[in-house]
Amino acid sequence: MGNERRSVLRRAMRILETIKDAADGLNLSEISRRSGVPLTTAHRIVSELHEWGALERDESGEYRIGLWLWEVAAVAPRSVGLHRVALPFMRDLFETTQRGVHLAVREKDQVVFVERFLSPETATDRTWVGARYELHATAIGLVLLAYAPPDLQEEVVTGPLAVPSWHAPVTERELRQTLAEIRRVGYATTLIRQEYLSVAAPIHGPAGTVVAALSLILPCTESYGPRLAHLQATARGVSRALGAPQGRTRLALPSDMRKGG
Amino acid sequence: MGNERRSVLRRAMRILETIKDAADGLNLSEISRRSGVPLTTAHRIVSELHEWGALERDESGEYRIGLWLWEVAAVAPRSVGLHRVALPFMRDLFETTQRGVHLAVREKDQVVFVERFLSPETATDRTWVGARYELHATAIGLVLLAYAPPDLQEEVVTGPLAVPSWHAPVTERELRQTLAEIRRVGYATTLIRQEYLSVAAPIHGPAGTVVAALSLILPCTESYGPRLAHLQATARGVSRALGAPQGRTRLALPSDMRKGG
DNA sequence: GCTACCTTTCCGCATAACGGAAGGGAGGAT
DNA sequence: ATCCTCCCTTCCGTTATGCGGAAAGGTAGC
C-alpha cells in the first residue's frame, strides 16, 4: 500500500471509504484490518466519528455510515440537487420506454452513477449508484468526456486507455474522432456485449456547461432513432429544469482539479 | 464558543457542517469566519478535504459539498436505504390524498426529516430534508419518541421541554400520558397552528423495532378516520418492504448513544 | 478453568498539526 | 498609475495532538 503521509483526516476518510465499500457494517478490528489503520488509531478516529454522528453503531458493535453524513451530503449540489430534479424525468422515460435509464456525472477522470432505473432484462450489468468507471468505456462516459475541460480531455486521450471488454474506442486517434463526432451530433453510442446499445445525451446546468449525462440501454434489434429523440428530449427537459440557458452548448471551464504531476 | 479540545477531525466536521448550513457555497475566509477555525488551519483542512473529493470548488473559488461525500452517504442504511424503499409508498399516499407526507427518523433526541411531499397549501412550513426538530414538538416526533429506548424517553420526558408554538404536550405528566396513548393506539396526532392536523404512524425495521415514522398533514375541517387508515396501511407497507416481522411491535433497544453525563 | 477474539484504557515519544507573519494576486476606487 | 481591500497561499519555529505498543477488560465458546 503506497504510504501516503499519515494524517488523521486522510485516515478518517479512508475509514469512511472502507465502511462504504463493505456492503454490511464492520466492527472495529475489521475496519482496522481493511483500512490498514492500526487498531488503536482506528479506535480513536472511529470513536470521534461516532461521537459526531458520522458513524452509527448497532447493538452488535458494528459501525455503519451515520445519518449526519447523509445530512451533509443532502446539500451536495451535483448529486442530490441533480437527483431531485432529474428523477421525475427519468421515471417518465423509463415508464414509456421500459429500457434501462442511467444518470451520471463526471468526477475528475471517472464516471459516477447517480441514479438508475433498470429493465429486468438488462439488470445483469454491474453499475450501481455510487459506482465509478473509466470515462471512455461507456456511452455516458464518452458524453461527459466530450464536453469536459480540454485539459482533462487531453490527459485522458493521451493517457493509458484500459481496453474495455465492449466495443469502444481504444486508440488515441479513434477516441479523438469519437469525441469530435459526439460534440457534432450531440449524443454518444456504445455497444454492450454485442447485444445492447447504450445511447447517451448531455445535460446542461445553469452556466450552460455539461453537468451530467443521461443514457438509455436498448436491445440491438431495436431501431434507435425514436428512442434517441426521446432521450434527447428528456435530457433537454432536465437541463431546462436545472436552469440551463436555451442557447448553444459550452465546454466546461478548465478544471481546477489539478495538483502534483 | 465553548472550546472543545482542538482536534483536526472535529474541526473538519465543523467545517463540513458550516458549508452544509450555508445555502450557497462559501469561500475560504468565510468558512474560517463562520466555523471559528483560524484561516491557515482552515486552509489546510479544506485543501485536504478538497483533494479527497469531499469538497468541490467552483471557478469562483467557493467550496461546496463534494460528490465523494454523497457516495459515502449513499450507503447510509437509515437514510438512503429507507428512502429508496419508502419513496414509492409515499408517492402513492401523496397522489391519492394530495396531502403533505413526511418521512423522518430519530437521531439521538431529535427528529430528522428524510423526505417529504408537500401539498401547495401546506407548503408554508419550514421543514426541509435534513432539518432537525425536538422530538416532542410534532406528531412524527412523538411517534419516534414513544417507541424509542426507555432510557432516552426518560431523558426527554424529565428534561426541559421547550414549549412549541403549536398545541403539544408541555408538562412531564401530559407527555407521559401522550406517549402511552400513542403506544396503545399506534399513532399520534398534533395540531399545527389551529388549522392543520398532523397524523403520524411508526415504520418497523427487520428487527421489529421502530426505525422511522410517516406523517400526513390534514386540514382540520377534514375527518381524519379514512386518512388515518390509509396512512397506517402505507406505514405497514413500508415496514413489510423493509423486512419487518408481521407480529407485534417492539421497543428499540437501550440506546448506546451515551457518553458523558 | 482455558483459549480466542474483540474493545478499551494507559502513557511516553515524536511528529503532524498549528497559526502568526509575510508574500502574492485580483479587483475596485481615486 | 497608485493605493486599498480582501482573499489565497507558502513559510517555518513551536508544541500540543495524535500515535500505537502493551496491557487490561469483556464476552463467548469449549
What's the pLDDT tens digit per position in B201-232?
Answer: 999 988 888 999 999 999 988 888 899 999 99
Distance, in Å, from the CA atom of B11 to the CA atom of B32, rounded to the nearest integer, reads 10
Indicate yes or no: strand D within 7 A of the C-beta of A259: no
Please tell me which residue of chain B has the smallest CA distance to A44: B9
Residues facing B107 on adjacent strands: B110
Q: How far is A37 from chain B (nearest CA, A)?
A: 15
Chain-chain contact of A73 with B78 (C-beta, under 8 angstroms): no
User: Where in chain B are all domains bearing CATH 3.30.450.40?
Assistant: 77-242
Distance, in Å, from the CA atom of A69 to the CA atom of A169, rounded to the nearest integer, reads 38
Q: How far is B73 from chain A (nearest CA, A)?
A: 5
pLDDT bracket for residue B248 (50, 70, 90): low
- Give the CB-side neighbour count of residue A60, counting CA atoms within 13 A: 7
Please tell me which residue of chain A has the smallest CA distance to B252: A59
List CB contacts (< 8 A) between B103 and chain A: none
Chain-chain contact of B67 with A105 (C-beta, under 8 angstroms): yes
User: How far does Cα A250 stand from its chain's mean position?
Assistant: 21
| Chain A contact probe: residue of B56, B70, B259 with most A CBs at under 10 A | B70
Instruction: Annotate A75-108 with DSSP letters as a single string.
Output: T-IIIIIHHHHHHHHHHHHHHHH-SEEEEEEEET
Matching residue, cell 415496514: B239
**Strands A55-57, A110-117: parallel, antiparallel or unpaired by DSSP?**
unpaired
Looking at CATH, the fold of the domain delimited by A8-72 is given as Arc Repressor Mutant, subunit A (1.10.10)
The percent of residues above 70 in pLDDT, for chain A, comes to 84
| Protein CA at B17 to nucleotide C1' at D7, angstroms | 22
Per DSSP, helices labelled H in chain A are 8-21, 28-35, 39-52, 67-73, 82-97, 139-146, 150-158, 172-185, 225-242
Residues facing B111 on adjacent strands: B106, B133
List CB contacts (< 8 A) between A9 and chain B: 8-9, 12, 45, 48-49, 52
Task: Give the model confidence (pLDDT) of A205-245 as tens digits.
Answer: 888 889 999 999 999 888 888 899 999 999 999 999 998 88
Helix (H, G, I), strand (E, B) or coil at A160: coil
Contacts of A79 (CB under 8 A, 6+ apart): A73, A105, A114, B67, B70
- For C6, which residue's CA is nearest its C1'? A29
- pLDDT of A192 above 70: yes
Tell me the nt nearest to B32, Cα to C1': D7
List CB contacts (< 8 A) between B110 and chain A: none
Distance, in Å, from the CA atom of A259 to the CA atom of A252, rounded to the nearest integer, reads 19
Q: How far is A70 from chain B (nearest CA, A)?
A: 5
Region A123-147: mean pLDDT is: 78
Residue type, A174: E
List CB contacts (< 8 A) between B108 and chain A: 53
Residues facing B212 on adjacent strands: B203
B172 vs B55, higher pLDDT: B55
Chain-chain contact of A20 with B56 (C-beta, under 8 angstroms): no
Residue type, B156: V
Strand D bases within 7 angstroms of protein beta carbons: 6-11, 16-22
Indicate yes or no: strand D within 7 A of the C-beta of B38: no
A100 vs A246, higher pLDDT: A100
**Residue closest to A108 by CA, chosen among A70, A65, A78, A71:** A78
Distance, in Å, from the CA atom of B207 to the CA atom of B32, rounded to the nearest integer, reads 43
**Strands A55-57, B210-219: parallel, antiparallel or unpaired by DSSP?**
unpaired
pTM: 0.83
- Residue A256: φ, ψ to 5°: -95, 5
Chain-chain contact of B20 with A51 (C-beta, under 8 angstroms): no
pLDDT at B132: 81
pLDDT at B78: 86
User: Where in chain A are all domains bearing CATH 1.10.10.10?
Assistant: 8-72
Identify whether the C-beta of residue B137 lies closer than 8 Å to the C-beta of residue B162. Answer: yes
pLDDT bracket for residue B239 (50, 70, 90): very high
Indicate yes or no: strand D within 7 A of the C-beta of A37: yes
Residue type, A59: E
Mean pLDDT, chain A, integer: 84
User: How far does Cα A108 stand from its chain's mean position?
Assistant: 10
Instruction: Annotate B72-131 with DSSP letters as a single string.
Output: HHTT-IIIIIHHHHHHHHHHHHHHHH-SEEEEEEEETTEEEEEEEE--GGGTTS---TT-
Q: How far is B53 from chain A (nearest CA, A)?
A: 8
Indicate yes or no: strand D within 7 A of the C-beta of B78: no
Distance, in Å, from the CA atom of A258 to the CA atom of A152, rounded to the nearest integer, reads 9
Chain-chain contact of A9 with B12 (C-beta, under 8 angstroms): yes
Residue type, B200: A
Of A66-80, B30-44, B145-159, the range with the highest mean pLDDT is B30-44
Using CB atoms, which residue from A16, A108, A259 is nearest to B72?
Answer: A16
Task: Give the model confidence (pLDDT) of B122-167 as tens digits.
Answer: 544 445 676 788 888 889 999 999 999 888 898 888 887 766 555 5
Mean pLDDT, chain B, integer: 84
pLDDT at A34: 93
Chain-chain contact of B51 with A259 (C-beta, under 8 angstroms): yes
Identify whether the C-beta of residue A93 lies closer than 8 Å to the C-beta of residue A234. Answer: yes
List CB contacts (< 8 A) between A52 and chain B: 9-10, 13
Set of cell numbers at residue B260: 458523558
Tell me the nt nearest to B7, Cα to C1': D17
A145 vs B136, higher pLDDT: A145
Matching residue, cell 453510442: A189
Indicate yes or no: strand D within 7 A of the C-beta of B28: yes
pLDDT bracket for residue A166 (50, 70, 90): low
Distance, in Å, from the CA atom of A20 to the CA atom of A71, rounded to the nearest integer, reads 16
Residue type, A169: P
pLDDT at B120: 60
The second-level CATH assignment, the architecture, of B77-242 is 2-Layer Sandwich (3.30)
- pLDDT of A196 above 60: yes
pLDDT at B163: 60
